[in-house]
Amino acid sequence: MTVEIAQDSAGHAMQPEDTPELRALYKAFQDNHLNPLWTQTGDLMPEHPKPKAVAHVWKWRELLPLAKKSGELVPVGRGGERRAIGLANPGLGGAAYVSPTLWAAIQYLCPRETAPEHRHSQNAFRFVVEGEGVWTVVNGDPVRMSRGDLLLTPGWNFHGHHNDTDQPMAWIDGLDIPFSQQNDVGFFEFGSDQVTDYATPNVSRGERLWCHPGLRPLSGLQDTVASPIGAYRWEYTDRALTEQLLLEDEGQPATVEQGHAAIRYVNPTTGGDVMPTIRCEFHRLRSGTKTPNRREVGSTVFQVFEGEGAVELAGQAHKLEIGDMFVIPSWVPWSLEAETQFDLFRFSDAPIMERLHFMRTMIDGQAK
Amino acid sequence: MTVEIAQDSAGHAMQPEDTPELRALYKAFQDNHLNPLWTQTGDLMPEHPKPKAVAHVWKWRELLPLAKKSGELVPVGRGGERRAIGLANPGLGGAAYVSPTLWAAIQYLCPRETAPEHRHSQNAFRFVVEGEGVWTVVNGDPVRMSRGDLLLTPGWNFHGHHNDTDQPMAWIDGLDIPFSQQNDVGFFEFGSDQVTDYATPNVSRGERLWCHPGLRPLSGLQDTVASPIGAYRWEYTDRALTEQLLLEDEGQPATVEQGHAAIRYVNPTTGGDVMPTIRCEFHRLRSGTKTPNRREVGSTVFQVFEGEGAVELAGQAHKLEIGDMFVIPSWVPWSLEAETQFDLFRFSDAPIMERLHFMRTMIDGQAK
Amino acid sequence: MTVEIAQDSAGHAMQPEDTPELRALYKAFQDNHLNPLWTQTGDLMPEHPKPKAVAHVWKWRELLPLAKKSGELVPVGRGGERRAIGLANPGLGGAAYVSPTLWAAIQYLCPRETAPEHRHSQNAFRFVVEGEGVWTVVNGDPVRMSRGDLLLTPGWNFHGHHNDTDQPMAWIDGLDIPFSQQNDVGFFEFGSDQVTDYATPNVSRGERLWCHPGLRPLSGLQDTVASPIGAYRWEYTDRALTEQLLLEDEGQPATVEQGHAAIRYVNPTTGGDVMPTIRCEFHRLRSGTKTPNRREVGSTVFQVFEGEGAVELAGQAHKLEIGDMFVIPSWVPWSLEAETQFDLFRFSDAPIMERLHFMRTMIDGQAK
Amino acid sequence: MTVEIAQDSAGHAMQPEDTPELRALYKAFQDNHLNPLWTQTGDLMPEHPKPKAVAHVWKWRELLPLAKKSGELVPVGRGGERRAIGLANPGLGGAAYVSPTLWAAIQYLCPRETAPEHRHSQNAFRFVVEGEGVWTVVNGDPVRMSRGDLLLTPGWNFHGHHNDTDQPMAWIDGLDIPFSQQNDVGFFEFGSDQVTDYATPNVSRGERLWCHPGLRPLSGLQDTVASPIGAYRWEYTDRALTEQLLLEDEGQPATVEQGHAAIRYVNPTTGGDVMPTIRCEFHRLRSGTKTPNRREVGSTVFQVFEGEGAVELAGQAHKLEIGDMFVIPSWVPWSLEAETQFDLFRFSDAPIMERLHFMRTMIDGQAK
């Protein structure tokens, strides 16, 4: 244990004199599995969040070739479970954590391959930035994956994937693995080594039951912890965003900010977030729009879906193209700027922050 | 005050002897605005709900001609406000109450007519069993009314109607007027003598913002007491019911009961009922389906939308055709039987009963 | 059906001409159990609540002797169930309704008498303005009744009363009988002809389990629709009010308004109202305090517990002494004035109004 | 990055062959801040929680002397803020974390000392196992600390401590520092270098307003995120537990299990946990009682308050005396055994687990 010297706001040290007696005390602490607060107050309780995780951008043009190469070299099957390559935040020591709470990965499935079924406490989703041809089978319900779709596999639902085509397919996975790992909440169970249903319907059973706006089946009146919708289709997302911008053109309140349309994916049984730990959203900026400077508690990940633009992360601008992903750790200031119409998928740990009442937001320096 | 003699379950009277002294006491009660419980216990607190309202069927083929005749004789405008003819439950002494809580009416608008704008605490909806060509303008948002659509005007929203065509149009109105009247909760305010917007868009602004399955605008994250959706379109209702029956065909759980598909219209911000006092549902029975015998606390109204069948109300069967309406008072047993595919719109005061914890349901004699 | 002529706000009639054809139409309405809106719009949908119920004061010095006389003349037992004399609002045609939703009665039990056990959907409470010696047995748990105590018997709990002394005892009963009766929600079941337990403990089992501030038994983690506390003791109520006034003396925020301390009785499992339809509160005014003018949706009843003062009801002042009761119908303006320290028990139907989102409050002419 | 070989349930490796090409791929992953799932699936997603934290017991007779020694050698004041010595879980690498989510410390204040005011997002409580004489000033409200009391300082409330006596005092602190640190949610602000009020009232203002069973001030009708009660007094806790055991003696349902009384400290505005991340409870076992074997998701800490007994942690028994503390990491099986009447204070991160829907409980091998 290093004896660090904390200071007050004016820089005055309030630490004990370094004597043999003190060293003996500190040794006794160590021997008894104790650790004093006064040597580390500022570290444990900083003035504002000072994440170890850093803001970082991963380029799709680098991710995709590595995923393809993995497709050539690495089998997919029981044990490894998934050919998923996790984004490892440079500030987090190499662990496959994009942030302290979130996992983000590119997953790759070769032609005709199957990733076997399993289930786990961890909540998961997939988002498809390009391609098609894979079905995710969730508790026996085959769900088509296509460009722009958000697919859910909430905690403790069996799921596997299979590629029904002669083309490989890549997509991104988002999970709460780091949160789960850190807080020891995860259970895991193997399922079928294949998927339980190789049918390839265009629309899943969950969608057929639940994707009718404002309507709820009488057979489904019990609220559920996570959304019963397996796939949020691009067709609906795109239409919702298009309408928001048209309404804005007509002078109607509809967008978040001028030139900035956005939807949140929700659990239709409650109107709340799709899963207890993960928020999913889609944002569309008109060409030329720059969003205000924002700081939020909790971490968030974006993937560019369409168009070109840039993100300013802690004062540094990064150009962005289709498929690029970036992470914004807690309280790091950020804003987006669109060079063309600019479409971005977003996910975050905001439900954790809100449910535990840690959320704070600052927009252009003002608490919101 | 009549001195009635209550009895216990075995028929034993527990009433005082009728003496001059007792009569003097009862006279003193009356003079002091008092009324004893013991003379009326069974009336005030029956073993189970014994509504004054009775089950009753109104035939569309009788309603519609009277509405048309009203169109000829009665102007629509400020003061009378609406050419609406209320269903008066035969048990409720002629008042325009279909049940103690609910109002149901046929409303009629002649070609090119306008029903002026107003707002009130009472929650209201319209359901269209036939016709088209009228727009309801809700807080300035014009909402098209077409066959099979459910239109909402929740409490304290300005609304008016105008007929944009050369054909008259009739539809049904549902409100909580009796509840509001009985419990003294209503406020009312006149608005424009015209409607504020005579545009006739196919889709209202509320729908454009909110009718995307599983998606919520970021500009609308605050939960609302009533649904922000102005129109629930037949296209979606029909598709949801069709899918439920197809899923049933495939052996999947989707329907309420074998052969009985049903949806509840919900507030997308909460997943709950569309308005605080009124529940709206749509039911579809396969030809030949007979639903179990059901008793529920609270009152409900049905309108046949399509097909033929019958309802058994307190043991008596009534044949039903398109447009026919019937009311089921609290705890009256009922079941439906379909001769063809049989589509029915339903509304009820169930949110009142559930929020105040008075709801009970019995199916085939079993508490549910 | 009388043809009444409604008018718009400027007094212009918008009614059809009175022709034979119109009379025939109105006759047809009647024959078909229909009733037009346009002849009664203003009645059904007034600008603000215009209750039939009126504000009224009942004097304890008149109530109590009549209750005593009933004790002499009227037996208590199965069938009549309770020797309870209901306050009949002069505006409600003689029915034993203090308001459209609430029942208020004085109940009287002679020495050694038992009022037999029963249960009903209706929610009930007792409040004791004077006396002691009766126990209410709620689901087998004997609950002592003493001056200043609030006793609950929420819907569907068996309950009976017995007087363990040689003195008679009177108290007030509050229930939602009119609401229940009007809306057909009530069930009733006879229990034991005696009470199931004649023990006379000082403290009930419910209190022993639940009346520890801020503590919840691990055996009672499930939230309940109504409070599990059978008796809210005067000792605690008095202490809470005393502390509020002392804190006010110390310049701390604690009272509702200057000189006006108040508590709400709550369900400890939720922090909400004690029962789904009835709110109970206790108010204490310092001598000389006059509360602002208040209008609220819904009806409320007060009973003076201690001290002297007055209530102004719709502009008319009424002097008040111990035991006096008064009702304030919906939207009737009122204020209290204290000549001495002035203690009042209050109950109302506010949970109904709030849960159904009809509540509005105006204080000194300002919407609150 | 080490290449670890995961296996399926039957022990079959599903890993790629170790070739130069694979090594090049893995090198490219590292260079691009990527990390594959398939080499670590079992670690990231274990079959059940496999915490790094271990079950561990700290003996009060070792803690207290070290705290006293710190009192001699270490000043308390701005910068170090508190003379608090954190329990460092032996499995967590020396960090002052008793578990991944929780901080537990012994704090020590010398005669007449003041620990200065500050506030932070982290939620905190104190529990007093022995001694008295210190007041915690929470947002200006001085709160007496005495044996058996639970004191709250929820997130973002200013608080300081001062010792009003000539005796030192020790107590335990519990916070969500590790959770806050790990997830980057913490804000911190210095307050007064002294406490803002050196008064030493027996009862705090918060208690005077809120500690009346079943009563809520009308000035406090808004629900709060954390409890408004600053101190939960031993007198009430003891009485609640005593009553539960007496009720059990009378054959009434009151205890959790035979011989096991327990209360949860709650927020009176909601009936829920005292703070959004920390649950506090107090348990009392009759002499001779042994609780069933229990496993729960999330971590928990106990401190013995009175009596003697033992805890079995993952199959290993540990004798316990007054003041001893122990931590149970997620899913570690445990049971308590009482040699005398045995009183224990408990706190845990259960609100996190429940709000995020990760909670699972197993009792004697059965999912509960």
pLDDT digits (tens, 9 = 90+) for B172-220: 999 999 999 999 999 999 999 999 999 999 999 999 999 999 999 999 9
pLDDT at residue B227 tops 60:
yes
Q: Which fold has domain A232-367?
A: Jelly Rolls (2.60.120)
**pLDDT per residue over B269-323, tens digit each?**
999 999 999 999 999 999 999 999 999 999 999 999 999 999 999 999 999 999 9
d(CA B290, CA B335): 7
Mutation target for D interface from A358, A359, A360, A361: give the one with most D CBs within 10 A: A358
Taking an 8 Å cut-off on Cβ atoms, the answer to whether D212 and C268 are in contact is: no
Mutation target for D interface from A33, A48, A175: give the one with most D CBs within 10 A: A33
pLDDT at residue D346 tops 80:
yes
Q: Which two tokens stand for residue D25?
A: 């791929």
State in words which class domain C56-220 has.
mainly beta
Strands C231-232 and A34-36: unpaired
Taking an 8 Å cut-off on Cβ atoms, the answer to whether C38 and B74 are in contact is: yes
pLDDT at residue A166 tops 70:
yes
Q: Which two tokens stand for residue C72?
A: 């002499």
**Residue B198 contacts C where some CB pair is shorter than 8 Å:** no
**Which residue of chain D is at minimal alpha-carbon distance from C247?**
D205
Taking an 8 Å cut-off on Cβ atoms, the answer to whether B214 and A219 are in contact is: no
More confident residue, A79 or D223: D223
Taking an 8 Å cut-off on Cβ atoms, the answer to whether C81 and B40 are in contact is: no
Q: How buried is residue D180: exposed, middle or buried, by Cβ count under 10 Å (0-12/13-18/19+)?
A: buried
Q: Model-level pTM?
A: 0.96
**Which residue of chain A is at minimal alpha-carbon distance from D97?**
A35
Query: Do the beta carbons of residue D129 and residue D324 sit within 8 Å?
Result: no
Taking an 8 Å cut-off on Cβ atoms, the answer to whether D94 and A276 are in contact is: no
pLDDT value at residue D10: 42
pLDDT at residue D13 tops 90:
no
**pLDDT per residue over D263-286, tens digit each?**
999 999 999 999 999 999 999 999
Q: How buried is residue A317: exposed, middle or buried, by Cβ count under 10 Å (0-12/13-18/19+)?
A: exposed
pLDDT value at residue C296: 98
**Percent of chain A whose pLDDT exceeds 90:** 92
Closest CA to C203 of D75, B280, D240, B25: D240
d(CA B63, CA D200): 78
**How far is B357 from chain C, CA to nearest CA, in Å?**
7
**Residue C74 contacts B where some CB pair is shorter than 8 Å:** yes
Average the pLDDT over each of A3-17, A133-147, A255-269 and give the range with the smallest value.
A3-17
pLDDT band at A14 (very low <50, low <70, confident <90, very high): low
Strands D132-138 and D159-163: antiparallel
Helix (H) or strand (E) holding B21: helix B20-31
**How far is B287 from chain C, CA to nearest CA, in Å?**
30
pLDDT at residue A238 tops 90:
yes
**Residue B38 contacts C where some CB pair is shorter than 8 Å:** yes
Dihedral over alpha carbons A34, A40, A46, A49 (to 10 degrees)? -60
For residues D89-98, one letter each, b for 16 or more C-beta atoms within 10 angstroms of the residue's C-beta and e for the rest, the string is: bebbeebbbb
**pLDDT per residue over D58-113, tens digit each?**
999 999 999 999 999 999 988 888 999 999 999 999 999 999 999 999 999 999 99
Taking an 8 Å cut-off on Cβ atoms, the answer to whether A243 and B208 are in contact is: yes
- Domain C233-367 bears CATH identifier 2.60.120.10: yes
d(CA A80, CA D7): 7
* Complete edge-to-edge strand list for the sheet that includes strand A215-217: A215-217, B260-265, B279-285, B342-348, B300-306, B325-328, B56-58
Chain B positions touching C187 (Cβ under 8 A) are 47-49, 360
Domain with CATH 2.60.120.10 in chain D: 56-220, 233-367
Q: Which two tokens stand for residue D284?
A: 């009392």
Chain B positions touching C190 (Cβ under 8 A) are 8-9
Q: Which residue has the tokens 């009434």?
A: D252
Taking an 8 Å cut-off on Cβ atoms, the answer to whether B45 and C177 are in contact is: yes
pLDDT band at B368 (very low <50, low <70, confident <90, very high): confident
pLDDT at residue B121 tops 90:
yes
**Percent of chain B whose pLDDT exceeds 70:** 96
Give the pLDDT mean for A193-204: 96
Q: Which residue has the tokens 């083929």?
A: B61
pLDDT at residue D7 tops 70:
no
pLDDT value at residue C6: 41
Query: Do the beta carbons of residue C333 and residue C314 sit within 8 Å?
Result: yes
User: HSE on the CB side for C113, CA within 13 Å?
Assistant: 20
D–B contact: 3+ Cβ pairs < 8 A: no
Q: Which long-range contacts (CB under 8 A, 24 or more apart) does A1-7 make?
A: A1/A26, A1/A29, A1/A30, A1/A35, A1/A39, A1/D94, A3/A39, A4/A39, A4/A40, A4/A43, A5/A39, A6/A38, A6/A39, A6/A40, A6/A41, A6/A42, A6/D79, A6/D80, A7/A42, A7/D79
**Residue A83 contacts D where some CB pair is shorter than 8 Å:** yes
Average the pLDDT over each of B335-339, C136-140, D41-45 and give the range with the smallest value.
D41-45
Domain with CATH 2.60.120.10 in chain A: 56-220, 232-367
pLDDT at residue D227 tops 50:
yes
More confident residue, A13 or A177: A177
Please name the amino acid found at residue C253.
P
Taking an 8 Å cut-off on Cβ atoms, the answer to whether A209 and B254 are in contact is: yes
pLDDT at residue A2 tops 60:
no
**How far is B192 from chain C, CA to nearest CA, in Å?**
12
Give the pLDDT mean for A340-358: 98
A208-227 residues touching B, CB cutoff 8 A: 208-219, 221, 223, 227
pLDDT value at residue C80: 85
Q: Which residue has the tokens 């070109």?
A: A308
pLDDT band at D14 (very low <50, low <70, confident <90, very high): low
pLDDT value at residue A41: 83
Neighbours of A253 (CB within 10 A): 12
**pLDDT < 50: residue spans in chain C:** 1-13
Which residues, 6 or more positions from C269, have their beta carbon under 8 angstroms from its beta carbon? C216, C220, C222, C223, C224, C227, C228, D271
